[in-house]
Structures are given as structure tokens and as C-alpha cells.
Structure 1
Amino acid sequence: MHRIGNVTAFFGADDALSNWHPCRFTYHGVDFTSVEQLMMLSKAKLFADDMAAHQILATKDPMAQKMIGRKVKGFGLSLWESRRESIVFVGCREKFSQNPGLRTILLATAPTELVEASPYDLIWGIGLGERDSRVTDRRHWRGRNLLGITLMRVRDTLSRS
């Protein structure tokens, strides 16, 4: 994490806010090793790809999970877009509510704006790197920052409980 003014930028599996950060949590009786695993499993189940779902659960590597998730059979973009943010919200909520140390880290970012400073991701991130001076200026963002927005919703939810 890197705080610049009113922005907390994060990126990469070593960062506690990342979906790839290793952590353990359980949801509906399934044990997960990262939010990425829950996200990709949910994607496979949404499109009834049982083989992909099994493979995603069998690996602890977020990169491998993502690669399997990219090949989910029967994938439909509009259905995925309608569900992806609520899926990631649940994953992040469970991650941070079941891991007190991670919860403390997330809550300590308030009131800053959370920004996934991925230079590669234009959906979940902003398309700029963590050390890029333009991170604090939304006019320069190339991505939507859906993960940052979702994490701020989770932070708000957990701060009230």
C-alpha cells in the first residue's frame, strides 16, 4: 500500500488489499485461499462449468485460478458483468471479516479512496502503476477501479459492525 494524499494505492499479491493476497476464509462451507479463488469459482459455477470449478478449488495459486477462470465454458459477458461486483463484495467481506489483522488494515485506510493501481487492469484497477504520479487524479485513470470501489463498500460495512 502506498498512501498519497487522500488516496491509498495498492497492487500485487503481497498487498493485503489485493484479491491475490493469500488468506484463509470460509463461505458456504467452502474454504478459500484468496478472494481470487472465490471469484473464479463463482464464475465457473455461474456458467455451470464443473470441471473449471474443480480445477480452481484444487489450486492455491491465484494466477492459475485466473487462467482457469478465463477459459470457463459457456461464459457470457453480460451475465458476468451483472454479477461480478456482488461476488467480489462477498469475497472481500468474508476475507476481511474473518481475518482480524486484515480487517484492521482495511479499516485503517479510512477515509482515503482505495485505488487498485494495476497498470494492466482497466476493469478492477485504474490502468496506472502504484508509483505513477497520476494516481491521485481521476482524469488520468484509464480503468474503472471496481476493486477499489468494492473495498470501500466493504470498509464502510465493516466499520458499522
Structure 2
Amino acid sequence: MKKFLILLLLSTSYLFSFDKISIGYSTTSYDSNIYDISLIKDTNYKLFNLPLSLEFAFDYMDSTNNSDELYITSFQPVLTYDFNEQFFIQGALGVAYLSNKSFEHRNFGMNFQFKESVVFGYNINKHLSTTLRYNHISNADLDDDNSGLDIFGLNLIYKF
């Protein structure tokens, strides 16, 4: 199933002319493994004089303690600030959908969540970048249960 989803995302990226693809590995503060793939579309728009891009992400999360699994699908507009040609920082605020309302001992309250991201990156060359990423996913207290997720990860980005 995972291979099928990755193939679907790769073919979608080709069909809809996404500009970048990102693959990554992340973990949470309670040691779960997260594998993610993101499709990124650069836009010609600027917000606060910063370039705007759109990120569509799919994450698979598995528990190191039991057999729990969680799928996360998200969409985020992303703003990028370039310090120079090599280093950049990104900020994003978007929405996410979780396949389950709970994972391990955490209760999320609802499937619909908000996702915030802060990314520090380094451009290796004109086609390849690497990033250190922090994501926070929660329902912003729209439900009584709001355990949320704090995710720390590394990504490798290929620019077409």
C-alpha cells in the first residue's frame, strides 16, 4: 500500500507540474516513526514580499510501542525567507486530516487539525536541498481532547 501511494504521489507531481518533491523521516517527542512525502508548487505570488509556495504532504506514522498507525494528509501555504543563496527559513500554517482520532495514548478529539511548520534549510545545489523541520499539529482547542503532535524531522528536497 505504501509503495502504491508513493507511486501515486510521484505521478501526480508529474501531471500537475509540481516544482519540488520532498521525502523525509521524522519522529515525535514519544519516539514514533514518521515517513513523509510532499509535493511543492512554487507560485508567482509574494506575501509580505516573501515568495509563496503550496505544499501538499502525506505522512505515515507508526508506533514503536504497539501496532498503531496514523496517516496524515495536509495542505499548507509556505513563506520562504532566503538568508543567502545557501540558507533559508520557511514558515507555514495550514490544515491537516488525521486518519484516526487517537494514536497510542493521545486523543486528538477530531480528524480535522491545524498544522504549523518552521523549517531551516540548506541548498546543496540548484536541484537539491536539505531541511530540519518542526511541525505542530493540533485542533486549536476546538475539541476537549487536544493532545496534538510535535514532530521533528529531516527532509531531502529535489527541485525539478
TM range (shorter): under 0.3
Higher-strand-fraction structure: 2
TM-score (norm 2): 0.25
Higher-helix-fraction structure: 1
